[in-house]
Amino acid sequence: MALSDDRLLKVSESALLIVDIQEKFRPVVPAFEAVARNAQTLARGALRLKVPVLVSEQYPKGLGNTAGELLQWLPDNQTYFTKLRFSALGSDPLRQGLEATGRRQVVVAGLETHVCVMQTGLELLAAGYNLFLVTDAVSSRKDPDREAALQRLQRHGAELVTTEMVIFEWLREAGTPEFKELQALVK
């Protein structure tokens, strides 16, 4: 009997949403460097496997632009969706961009877990998307806020995953050129 893989991420059904990993958070979020590094790994994997990547920026005039370590790996024509609402779906262009992908699995990384990431996640779930929250690519200034948000999102149906889980689920098998390239990212 073949096992069902309905719960696994699929390249053909996934989109990556990077929420507000912006420069002004660097000094106040203790795990900023790890979050940015893991989001970079996710972005590189997504781009290599042709998974759409959407990036939001909360009030960039005040919080700065997307972190430099992410910018260097995103394409020159990457759209950065600016927003004032905490939920990324509050940006009509981002919401429309996500809808246009036709993808129903949304992999989310970003800051801060208990504000913009959580509100985005709850709205994604309410809109019928399958949410895969990357626990090692989200953070908050205070760990209790992060943990409470993760628990709340999971209670409402979010799948909690790690960067490495996402990459290997997207890959599905070893021995391909993509495997060799992306495996090096998670080692």
Domain-by-domain residue ranges, the chain? 11-186
pLDDT in tens, 86-118: 999 999 999 999 999 999 999 999 999 999 999
Which residues are known catalytic residues? 20, 83, 116
> Has residue 3 got a pLDDT over 70?
no
What number does CATH give the domain 11-186?
3.40.50.850
Phi then psi for residue 107, to 5 deg, are -90, 125
pLDDT at 181 over 90: no
- pLDDT band at residue 5 under the 50/70/90 scheme: low
Residue 86 CA to residue 1 CA, distance in Å, equals: 45
Whether 80 has a pLDDT exceeding 50, the answer reads yes
The two most distant CA atoms of the chain are separated, in Å, by 56
How far is the CA of 172 from the CAs of 2, 31, 59, 166, 179, in angstroms?
15, 29, 37, 10, 9
Cα R_g (the chain), whole angstroms: 15
What does the pLDDT read at residue 1?
Answer: 43
